[in-house]
Amino acid sequence: MKKPDPKYIFVVGGVISGVGKGIAASSIGRILEDRGLAVSAIKIDAYINVDAGTMNPTEHGEVFVLGDGDETDQDMGNYERFLNKDLTRTNYMTTGRVYASVIERERNLGYGGRCVQVVPHIPLEIISRIKKARKNAKADVVVIEIGGTVGEYENVLFLEAARMMKIESPQDVAFVMVSYLPVPSKVGEMKTKPTQHAVRALNASGIQPDVVLARSDSPLDEKRKEKISFFCNLSKGRIISAPDVESVYDIPANFEKEKLSDLLCSILDLKAPKKKSSSALAWKKFVRSVHRSKKPLKIAVVGKYFETGDFVLSDSYLSVIEAVKYSAFAEGRKPELVWLNSVDFEKSPAKLKSLSSYDGIIVPGGFGSRGVEGKLKVIQYAREHKIPYFGLCYGMQLLVIEYARNVLGLKDANTREVNPNAKNIIIDVMENQKERIAKKQMGNTMRLGAFPDVLKEGSVAARAYASLDSKAPRSARRIFERHRHRYEVNNAYIPALERAGLVFSGKSPDGMLAEIAELPAREHPFFLGTQFHPEFLARPLSPHPLFTAFIKAAVKKKKQ
């Protein structure tokens, strides 16, 4: 039987951003994947930046790193987590990227002497990228999220590309608008007018939505559905109520209560009978564990946060938060993450005592010198008071520096990033980076993406990873993890650090790069740091083994 043509679902935003368009797109992917379809997802960001790598995470949210090293938007993390699959750089697109390739092609005579114009050449480039991503992923359906909201100037060419795809094959393209219905406090009634305007703005781009996902605090009543239906030219069945829920992982099931996957399949003429795939069952089990996990676990995350507020913080460290959750839920615990400003520990060291009330401490990735001394004090406290400690990237580098200072006695031990004049540079820049840094070429110059590591037998790390697959103890010793850093442990100090008791339990296969540092289990309940970012590979259906080992140690501490 001939395979049906590939299908494309564009997800666009109406009214306001920040109402969960990324999670909606991910959930649409999930419910279609549950029906046995091969789904892939694309994020379009309309900014000029070629990637998210040079952006401040407190401004844009977390920079999510893909296996191939692409530095992307945090929604790519949502897609990977909900779809439980790896995506590649073809799944991510920005205005900068699209223009860069059109201009490069023009310079190389790729347009055969024609006048190269914004329309149609930019939309055509967008379309060719979407189709290429579909082909690479061998997907039956691609969900394409266009960042921002309709009516914004910078989205116009992406909407134009989508419109052109719809004209080309109407039965293969669907539009979902994620809208927002406010309930003004003085009025006390849910208002549909902003949604009506948003649909008209989309109409002005030549696009009629096929489905409106109505985000709001509470479910939509029949009256609101009727109004949107009447004013937006949509049958009532195409307006999906999407109220706030306790956990974002409930959203796919909520969509299905409104029969969204049936609706999309009928719009796109997709024959995908409802049979529960094994991943659908696993997802259900995971969601149950989210609700069943009630016993709290208190985890401190120590960083250099200033004036940013909790909201921004949780966006900047989304993958870390999610990774903690998956491992905690698997242990039946509900994690309570508390953000601590490392600078506070510099100003009043007496505050360190308060750390004993936490079941575990994380120092996540970071850059620059602000707050570093405070983090070092926290790490020392965690080591000396046997509080489970997990260092991610910068958190690992600082673990090594703390050990060098306080156990080896190298008082001025530091990283070149903070003090290039220190006598003992324990964390140093990689040779091939020196020249680039001198030229201020900071974009896309870090060590990025998945690289292999070899684990030391019997170590805390090796035992954690072996739990992934007990039948494959040998192959489990080689792992692939995602990186994003510029500096490395200076090999000249490794013998002395090892003699002083620190174990380098993960190294690059050539032995040149130290990737995991830990204290043996007999010395500390859990004191481990990774040069890579394990959080990027933590998924609801496969919690990360190192996070799980950390959480297990935290549960143990709590019990004591």
Q: Please state the closest distance from residue 396 (CB atom) to ligand GLN, in A.
A: 8
Determine the 3-state secondary structure of 237 from DSSP: helix
- Residue pointed to by tokens 């997907």: 139
**Residue 311 CB partners (closer than 8 Å, separation 6+):** none
Q: Strand runs (DSSP E) across 16-62, as ranges?
A: 39-45
CB 459 within 8 A of CB 433: no
DSSP H stretches of helix in 149-192: 156-168
Pick between residue 251 and residue 393 the one whose CB is nearest to ligand GLN.
Answer: 393
Pick between residue 317 and residue 487 the one whose CB is nearest to ligand GLN.
Answer: 487
Question: How many CB atoms sit inside 10 A of residue 48's CB?
Answer: 12
Pick between residue 47 and residue 367 the one whose CB is nearest to ligand GLN.
Answer: 367
Q: From the candidates 33, 232, 535, 544, which is the catalytic residue? A: 535
Pick between residue 8 and residue 487 the one whose CB is nearest to ligand GLN.
Answer: 487
For residues 140 and 165, give the distance between their C-alpha atoms in angstroms, rounded to a whole number.
16
Q: Please state the closest distance from residue 430 (CB atom) to ligand GLN, in A.
A: 9
Q: Strand runs (DSSP E) across 211-320, as ranges?
A: 211-216, 239-243, 295-303
Q: Point out which residues bind ligand GLN (CB under 6 A).
A: 365-367, 393-394, 417, 484-487
Can you read off the two tokens belonging to residue 513? Answer: 């790069």
Q: Strand runs (DSSP E) across 437-509, as ranges?
A: 447-455, 478-485, 487-489, 503-507
If we measure between CA atoms, which residue out of 276, 300, 183, 248 comes closest to residue 557? 300
Q: From the candidates 121, 524, 533, 544, which is the catalytic residue? A: 533
Pick between residue 19 and residue 513 the one whose CB is nearest to ligand GLN.
Answer: 513
Q: Report residue 366: phi and psi, to 5°.
A: -175, 170
Can you read off the two tokens belonging to residue 342? Answer: 């490392």
CB 389 within 8 A of CB 418: no
Q: Please state the closest distance from residue 448 (CB atom) to ligand GLN, in A.
A: 10
Q: Please state the closest distance from residue 370 (CB atom) to ligand GLN, in A.
A: 12
For residues 378 and 304, give the distance between their C-alpha atoms in angstroms, rounded to a whole number.
12
Q: Please state the closest distance from residue 184 (CB atom) to ligand GLN, in A.
A: 42
Q: Report residue 542: phi and psi, to 5°.
A: -150, 80
For residues 454 and 433, give the distance between their C-alpha atoms in angstroms, rounded to a whole number.
24
Q: Is 25 exposed, middle or buried (0-12, 13-18, 19+ CB in 10 A)?
A: buried
If we measure between CA atoms, which residue out of 525, 527, 509 comes closest to residue 517? 527
Q: Please state the closest distance from residue 415 (CB atom) to ligand GLN, in A.
A: 7
Can you read off the two tokens belonging to residue 358? Answer: 């936490």
Q: Please state the closest distance from residue 367 (CB atom) to ligand GLN, in A.
A: 4
**Residue 167 CB partners (closer than 8 Å, separation 6+):** none
For residues 95 and 227, give the distance between their C-alpha atoms in angstroms, rounded to a whole number.
36
Pairing of strands 92-94, 39-45: parallel
DSSP H stretches of helix in 86-187: 95-107, 118-137, 156-168
Q: Report residue 408: phi and psi, to 5°.
A: -80, -20
Pick between residue 123 and residue 366 the one whose CB is nearest to ligand GLN.
Answer: 366
Q: Looking at the chain, how many residues does it have?
A: 560
Q: Please state the closest distance from residue 493 (CB atom) to ligand GLN, in A.
A: 16
CB 322 within 8 A of CB 290: no
Annotation marks residue 393 as catalytic = yes
Q: From the candidates 125, 393, 402, 417, which is the catalytic residue? A: 393
Pick between residue 63 and residue 300 the one whose CB is nearest to ligand GLN.
Answer: 63
Q: Please state the closest distance from residue 317 (CB atom) to ligand GLN, in A.
A: 11
Pick between residue 380 and residue 397 the one whose CB is nearest to ligand GLN.
Answer: 397
Q: Which residue is nearest to ligand GLN (CB)?
A: 365
Q: How far, CA to CA in Å, does 360 sit from each of 311, 320, 334, 398, 525?
A: 22, 14, 13, 17, 10
Can you read off the two tokens belonging to residue 272? Answer: 């995908």
Q: Please state the closest distance from residue 371 (CB atom) to ligand GLN, in A.
A: 12
Pick between residue 73 and residue 417 the one whose CB is nearest to ligand GLN.
Answer: 417
Annotation marks residue 533 as catalytic = yes
Pick between residue 484 and residue 557 the one whose CB is nearest to ligand GLN.
Answer: 484
Say which DSSP state 542 is in. Answer: B
Catalytic residues: 393, 533, 535
